[in-house]
Amino acid sequence: MQALNIKGEVITTPYSFVATAHSLLWNGIAPVFVDIDPHTLNLDPTKIEAAITLQTTAIMPVHCYGHPCDVVAIQEIADRYHLKVIYDAAHAFGVRDNNGSILKHGDLSVLSFHATKVFNTFEGGAIVCADASMKHRIDCLKNFGITDEVTVEAPGINGRMSEINAAFGLLQLKHIDKALAKRFEIDAIYRLRLTSIKGIHCLSKAGEMIANHAYFPILVQTDYPLSRDELYQKLKDQNIFVRRYFYPLIADFPMYKHFSSAQSNNLSVAVASAANILCLPIHPALSDEDLERVIRVIAEIS
């Protein structure tokens, strides 16, 4: 936010990890929540323009679960209103569209390398930008504003990733193709076996995009015998740990509820999705036996 000198209001999604909106509030910026697309659970471009005001300076979408946003539609709106675009790409390592890396879109894309991500360094991340001057600005801000031994350009912080974390990441890169291939395989099995279960809806695939299969979300609908929370507990009782991810909505937390855009009648798709979502286990070390057990528990209830 500081690198792009973002102020005022930023249009964003309520359906994300709370860090998305926290990055705004932390910098004195007001988040303006817009509803999500029911098929991708990403920010709905058709809802953005109505939320733009004279105070709007940027749009911050999220590539939710690694599924790419409609980057073309979002950029067209941003260009028309002279807004910056910052992508929360925490889930989007390795994701590609027809023009290459999805991280090339917008003014900045921000990756997470947290331990739960497809590619990780235990803790850390990366900011992807398009030009050397912006990289210099970011490098300055993440190192106390220091540019050389005697020069401090800005009031920066210690935002650097440690060498130990970077070294761990370099080792991870040696195995990333194998890890992505295993995730692809697990995703395909889930889709094959769960699609026929009444009341279980698998989110649409990313079309011609190259996905990283970071998560496997399902929506537990009203015609399934159990509610989402009942299925969550049933799986947990079987030592199968799923996540209601993202629930609650960011807009439901105390520091955001007072914003007018956080009202549930403004976010009907996000509210319904948060109430029905479950993310099933998907990681390279998931055994065939455990994968079958997850599917069996869900299927036996139907």
Strand 9-12 relative to strand 84-88: parallel, antiparallel, unpaired?
Answer: unpaired
- Three-class SS state of 227: coil
The number of residues making up the chain comes to: 302
pLDDT higher than threshold 80 for residue 206: no
How far is the C-alpha of 68 from the C-alpha of 89, rounded, in Å?
9
Residue 284's nearest CA partner among 203, 230, 218, 212 is 212
CB contact at 8 A, 230 and 297 = no
Grade residue 2 by pLDDT with cuts at 50, 70 and 90: very high
pLDDT higher than threshold 60 for residue 208: no
- Three-class SS state of 123: coil
Structure tokens that stand for 272 in this block? 């319904």
Grade residue 205 by pLDDT with cuts at 50, 70 and 90: confident
Q: What is the pLDDT of residues 246-289, one digit of tens each?
A: 999 999 999 999 999 999 999 999 999 999 999 999 999 999 99
* One-letter identity of residue 122: F
Q: What is the pLDDT of residues 43-59, one digit of tens each?
A: 999 999 999 999 999 99
Q: What is the pLDDT of residues 232-243, one digit of tens each?
A: 999 999 999 999
Instruction: Write down all domains in the chain, each with its CATH number in brackets.
Output: 9-173 (3.40.640.10), 176-301 (3.90.1150.10)
Q: What is the pLDDT of residues 178-187, one digit of tens each?
A: 999 999 999 9
Contacts by residues 240-244 (CB-CB < 8 Å, ≥ 24 positions apart) = 240/281, 240/293, 240/294, 240/297, 241/281, 242/278, 242/279, 242/280, 242/281, 243/278, 243/279, 244/274, 244/277, 244/278, 244/279
The verdict on whether omega for the bond into residue 248 sits within 30 degrees of 0, i.e. cis, is yes
Task: Say which residue the tokens 């993440």 belong to.
Answer: 142
CB contact at 8 A, 43 and 62 = yes
CB contact at 8 A, 75 and 106 = yes
Q: State residue 38's pLDDT score.
A: 96
- CA torsion, ordered 29, 131, 73, 213, to nearest 10 deg: -90
Q: State residue 47's pLDDT score.
A: 98
DSSP state of 58: E
Q: Which residues contact 126 (CB under 8 A, 6 or more apart)?
A: 110, 111, 113
Mean pLDDT of the chain: 96
Percentage of residues of the chain with pLDDT beyond 70: 99
